[in-house]
Amino acid sequence: MESHVSALKSLHTILIDSLNGYRTALDEAGGKGLTRLFNEMIALRTQQIDQVSVALQDMGAPADSDGSFLTTVHKAVISLSALFTGLDESILPGLVDGEQRIRTYYDAALASAPVDGPERAMLVKQRDALQAKIDEMKAAQMAASPT
């Protein structure tokens, strides 16, 4: 069970880092570029974080709400991208890569989750929603690519 709590805490932290990155991207986008996607990801991340927080609390493992050093890295990368290239479809490959990394955190949490654990269904549903967003980003990337 300790490894599962650890996996959930790691997932929670990476979700917070991602949320902070998307918030920075939304601020930097100034209503242009991928603003709709950033808003959707902020809403998704907020829901995911809340649900994982509840699962951790139910296990007696309060969740840290600060994220990690990666929050600072995400903010810096987004700010530089906004400055030099804008926050349009050109950043989709990086977003897809980041979301695929987050998916591995879901895989780890699911691998350590008890088969009959109450959070298993929540993790599967969140991972599926994440995969749908990854697929959507890939489709947008393909649509934006010159043929």
Residue-wise pLDDT tens for the chain (147 aa)?
A: 688 999 999 999 999 999 998 998 898 888 888 999 999 999 999 999 999 999 999 999 887 776 655 555 555 555 545 544 566 888 899 999 999 999 999 999 999 998 887 889 999 999 999 999 999 999 999 998 775
Which domains are assigned to the chain? 2-144 (1.20.1260.10)
Where do we find the tokens 């880092």? Answer: 17
- CA dist 78 and 91 (Å) reads 9
Contact criterion met (CB below 8 Å) for 145 and 92: no
- CA dist 86 and 67 (Å) reads 26
The CA dihedral of 57, 62, 66, 69, to the nearest 10 degrees, is -110
SS3 per-residue string spanning 4-45: HHHHHHHHHHHHHHHHHHHHHHHHHHCCCCCHHHHHHHHHHH
